[in-house]
Amino acid sequence: MRSFLIFACIALTCLSTSAQQYNLDVAVSGMHSDKGTLFLSLYNAEKGYPRDYKAAFRLANARIVNGIASFRFDKLPAGTYAIACYHDENGNRKLDVNFFGIPTEGTGASNNAAGILGPPSFRNAKFPLDRDTAIAIRIKY
């Protein structure tokens, strides 16, 4: 009987740990202007990061005030995440790029990760979420 109670306590602890949910506060700075909108894509896997917003775990947008945009992702399960974001300054709801595919609008990533001859990798942008967390991202043009 005693071993059953110990097993039950361990099982309940594992269940409660796996059901934990956390808030993620994101502050993005460095926008050239308050025009347009900041779009954020939150990924919980490498697949699609950062270009395929349809592969994102959650999508969000935020208003820009004095060059800063803030957003809260509520009730996220514990795990590993990465954020990609861009400043849609002209309001066309897409990241504009030049002839060579280089963004002409500001972009950013969690950990302020930067790519070499391309976008940053999930590996460089990922961060653990195991408690309520706040992160800062700086937009680059």
Give the chain as a 3 state SS string: CHHHHHHHHHHHHHHHHHCCEEEEEEEEECCCCCCCEEEEEEECCCCCCCCCHHHCCEEEEEECECCEEEEEEEEEECEEEEEEEEEECCCCCCCCECCCCCECCCEEEHHHCCCCCCCCCHHHHCEEECCCEEEEEECEC
pLDDT of residue 19: 73
pLDDT of residue 18: 55
Domain 21-138 - what CATH class?
Answer: mainly beta
Cα Rg for the chain, rounded, in angstroms? 18
User: Model's pTM, two decimal places?
Assistant: 0.86
pLDDT of residue 3: 47
User: Is 57's pLDDT higher than 90?
Assistant: yes
* pLDDT tens digit sequence for 71-106: 999 999 999 999 999 999 999 999 999 999 999 999
Query: What are the boundaries of each domain within the chain?
Result: 21-138
- Per DSSP bridges, beta strands 79-88 and 37-43 are antiparallel
For the stretch 1-29, what's the b/e string if a residue is b when 16 or more beta carbons lie within 10 angstroms of its beta carbon? eeeeeeeeeeeeeeeeeeeeebebebebe
